[in-house]
Amino acid sequence: MEPPISLSAGCSKQDIRQKVWDYIEDNNLANFPRPVHHRIPNFKNAHQACQNISSLEVFRTAPEVKVDPDKPLEGVRLAALQAKKTLLVPTPRLRSGLFNKVTPPPGASKEVLRICSTSQGVRDFSAPLGLDAAVQVDLVVVGSVAVSEKGWRIGKGEGFADMEYAMMVAMGAVTDHTTVVTVVHDCQVLDFPEELLDDHDLTVDYILTPTRVIKTGCTRPKPKGIIWSKISLEMMQRIPILKKLREKESQSGKDVTLKDEGESSSKTSVLGGETSTVPRTKKDVQNVPTQFKPAASGPKESSTLYIGNIPPATRVRDLKTILRDHSALPLNLDWQGDRHRAFLTYKDHSEASLVLTKLESLNIGGHPVRVELARASRGRGNAPYLKSREDKQDIKDSASDLL
């Protein structure tokens, strides 16, 4: 059968993501949250697709399963809880660790188990597991934006599923026999070339859709662990568990040189508890991540976006969630809820322009909002244009608070 989404020769991963997101929205195939852009799409009949997990022998025999926290995978989490399996869910954006173990209350009814399978339930009925926990995951279930019948997988572009699997390898939680499953709408099953995959990309063994169970027969090796040369200092700072895993692998004799450390010759020092590089030349300084640079004495190069027409009931935490979901985290957020607007500051004009593209046609609660470069940023990229003294009395949140 001809796939509903056609791909052009030479298309990139991002081209494929955009086509899938557009198709799902244009054909009204999505459930909340919407729009699906920059998300793992929560498609209609996702629960029906999840029910197919019970037909897999590996699910019936697996004592421990790891299921990503994506909305369309709620049905798999519910099936695991109903089957009394150990359910592990990654912590959001790996901020505080790797896994949370979901433990429903004794004698939980089906309705309570359903609640436990939701994102709120995972927060309310789970506890984190440390790296020293004896975890042996028999089945991994991940979300996807696109997947091929050969087992190639494309996520939403942030790399968390790939990273989580690599981290599980590093802590001995998975083996070569661990099965990986994804759950998608039929339109998300596409034929794209293996050349688009990198060494760190996770492949899948089964694809579950509302109408099919596809055994991929994929023979491409899964990630063998963390590729430290692809990890940046900025990522180490955002994901604290990486530091512990790096120390563990360093002690075992593995090369744990980071991406940033290999780019320039430098001596090491400790900044904020993280090992980083101290550049010796002006060129090296330009390559150091922003958070490790001293404050500049000259004019700042930051650029700011303006968001207007924000619905009155919206709170700053709602906007933070939207920005996280769209991979649009700013350096600074100036919230002016009483004026139904906010200003987002990014490190330069290029990044602000990229985010502007991501937030194009943004709506909050079904209400379209206005997103554009703030007036002062249209020229050289400075602080937002503020009309009055009152405008300057805003709430500022650091980027770390938004992660």
Instruction: List, for residues 324-349, the tens digit of each pLDDT value.
Output: 888 888 988 888 888 889 999 988 88
Please indicate whether residue 67 or residue 163 has the higher confidence score (pLDDT). 67
pLDDT in tens, 167-178: 888 888 898 889
Please indicate whether residue 307 or residue 176 has the higher confidence score (pLDDT). 307
Last residue of a domain, one of 249, 272, 292: 292
Q: Which domain, by its residues, includes 325?
A: 303-402
Model pLDDT, residue 93: 67
CA distance 400 to 45: 36
Q: Is the Cβ–Cβ distance between 164 and 94 less than 8 Å?
A: yes
Answer yes or no: is 179 within a domain.
yes
Q: Is the Cβ–Cβ distance between 98 and 74 less than 8 Å?
A: no
Model pLDDT, residue 262: 56
Least reliable range by pLDDT among 69-73, 271-275, 351-355: 271-275
31-35, 50-54, 375-379, range with greatest mean pLDDT:
50-54
Indicate whether 73 and 44 sit together in one domain.
yes
For 222, the token pair is 């899964």
pTM here is 0.65
Answer yes or no: is 330 within a domain.
yes
Alpha helices in 140-196 (DSSP H): 160-170
HEC-encoded secondary structure of 5-48: CCCCCCCCHHHHHHHHHHHHHHCCCECCCCCCCCCCCCECCHHH
**Is residue 400 scored above 90 in pLDDT?**
no
Answer yes or no: is 8 within a domain.
no
Indicate whether 96 and 158 sit together in one domain.
yes
Indicate whether 58 and 200 sit together in one domain.
yes
Residue among 23, 285, 292, 288 at smallest CA distance from 146: 23
Indicate whether 208 and 313 sit together in one domain.
no
Answer yes or no: is 315 within a domain.
yes
Percent of the chain with pLDDT over 90: 39
